[in-house]
A and B are shown apart, each in its own frame.
Chain A
Amino acid sequence: MTPYKRTPLAAAHRALGARMVEFGGFEMPVQYTSILEEHAAVRERAGLFDVSHMGRIRVCGPRAEAAVERLVTCEVASLRPGAVRYGCLCNESGGTVDDVTVYRIATDDFFFCVNAANVEKDHRWIVEHVAGSGVSIENSSETSGLLALQGPAAEKLLQTQTTLALAGLRRFRFAEGRVDDRTVLVSRTGYTGSDGFEIYCGASDLEALWAGLLEAGAAFGLVPAGLGARDTLRLEAALPLYGHELDDETSPLEAGLDRFVKLDVGGFIGCEAIRARKAAGHVRALAGFILEDPGVARAGYVLSAGGRDVGVVTSGAPSPTLGRSIGLGWLPPALSAKDTAITVRVRARELRARVVETPFVRKVDRAGRAAGRN
């Protein structure tokens, strides 16, 4: 019936009353009960996401470190086994092929967690650029599953299901072990701006893990959460979404990802172009804004300042935590400074907005206290 791919949890999502939508070529749950409720659960307690649509590409072999170093913008030599880092795959023009997390399993064994819509593109890219340099490359996206357990209660909840010592697992570290008696990789990472874990497992273990976590989580106020809440959560944390804030033309520096780009070290594909684009001066910068008038800014809406069209919204949504509408968008660098007054064109009306520093919501600690920044 459907032209879209499904994760092994599609039936479980439907049984929970999920509304399914297409995302990245997959049929995925956008919400179970309410995006606002699911968002609040993640900020205050915990939410469980099926993110098995994300891809997983392994690069291993005696020359793997050099190959991965060449592929991603972040430093790899200093990445220890058991650590994970965020970075971008860039093309020779300095545009972004994908934004990824790089996991170092062992000295000579890595994997990339990549965006669902980019799995084939990334795999092709990696094969084209590093195959034959002493590595083997394996696209294990179809055989692996991924759950994200996010929220201040995530640690206590997950600890009831595993012998791994989670309190000692710091942010951007991971460990292999067992959850609910299934072999998994538990990573203290996420895409929500709250504390939490991402749990990599075999595709055949997904259903049991999903059901087991939901059952164990009931006592912690855990709810299943869909891509709708995932999007409002990541936007509050100002985390980029490929296809919105990043694409094949966009340099990661334009998107404000400077600290994930080893510009001084170099040696990665696209480095020279990224340096040259920076030296020439970027014509646009990604900025965060808060709407001061009622309404919602959405991707594609025009941004204006001083009566002139100056940019475009890349992502926008009501922020459930702040109770205001927020957005990210492209602006000329001169207009991207904090407190700059801009307007967002919403159906021929100009709604007032103000540039703010990002993230919009920060310091979401393990006790769930989220502080608005502005």
Chain B
Amino acid sequence: MAEYEFPANLKYSAEDEWARSEGDRITVGITDYAQSQLGDIVFVELPEVGRVVEKGEPFGVIESVKAVSDLYAPVAGEIVEVNADLTERPEQVNEDCYGDGWIVVIAVDDENGSSGLLDANGYRQHVERRTKES
């Protein structure tokens, strides 16, 4: 399997989003595995700021040359920020998925909002299981 990067300080969803907690603000993006599987990202459909999402709810869409994929909220809360740079430069998701390629910030009701997500090891195993199946 290709060498994907899954930083240890992040939490992960089974739907290939990552979440980084800073107090009640959780920054969300897609993982190195997800961006690699999608290929060249050409369009990101962002949600409106202020929208309230349930955990697991589709909140946006990411498109590569060949594929269309929903983005799922890894945590419940309110979208308080979106990465508008992705409108002009969606390729930032490929180039720096854990940095400039972040997608939204979700404000959660309590600081345990990201509980139930996988840690880096758990997510790596999840990816390995799937790549073996394919």
Q: Which of A19, A31, A296 is within 8 Å of B43, CB to CB?
A: A296
Closest A residue by C-beta to B37: A19
Chain A's interface size range is 10 to 19
Collect the chain A residues with CB atoms within 8 Å of residue B15's CB. none
Does A295 lie within 8 Å of B68, measured CB to CB? no
Say if the beta carbon of A255 comes within 8 Å of chain B.
no
Closest A residue by C-beta to B87: A294
Does A228 lie within 8 Å of B65, measured CB to CB? yes
Given contacts A36-B65, A228-B66, contact A295 B40 (CB under 8 A): no
Does A318 lie within 8 Å of B87, measured CB to CB? no
A217-246, CB < 8 A from B: 228, 231-232
| Interface 0/1 of B26-67, CB less than 8 Å to A | 000000000000011011010000000000000001011110
Collect the chain B residues with CB atoms within 8 Å of residue A35's CB. 39-40, 64-66
A122-143, CB < 8 A from B: none
Say if the beta carbon of A317 comes within 8 Å of chain B.
yes
Q: Which of B2, B39, B63, B87 is within 8 Å of A296, CB to CB?
A: B63
Say if the beta carbon of A93 comes within 8 Å of chain B.
no
Say if the beta carbon of A308 comes within 8 Å of chain B.
no
Collect the chain A residues with CB atoms within 8 Å of residue B61's CB. 347
Does A228 lie within 8 Å of B39, measured CB to CB? yes
Q: Which of A34, A294, A298 is within 8 Å of B40, CB to CB?
A: A34
Interchain CA distance A129-B99 in the complex, whole Å: 62
Does A31 lie within 8 Å of B63, measured CB to CB? no
Chain B nearest CB, measured from A139 CB (Å) = 31
State the B residues within 8 Å of A (CB): 2, 39-40, 42-43, 45, 61, 63-66, 68, 87
State the A residues within 8 Å of B (CB): 17, 19, 30-31, 34-36, 228, 231-232, 294-296, 298, 317-318, 347
* Interchain Cβ contacts under 8 Å between A and B, 21 examples: A31-B39, A34-B39, A34-B40, A35-B39, A35-B40, A36-B65, A228-B39, A228-B65, A232-B65, A294-B43, A294-B87, A295-B45, A295-B63, A296-B42, A296-B63, A296-B68, A298-B68, A317-B65, A318-B42, A318-B43, A347-B45
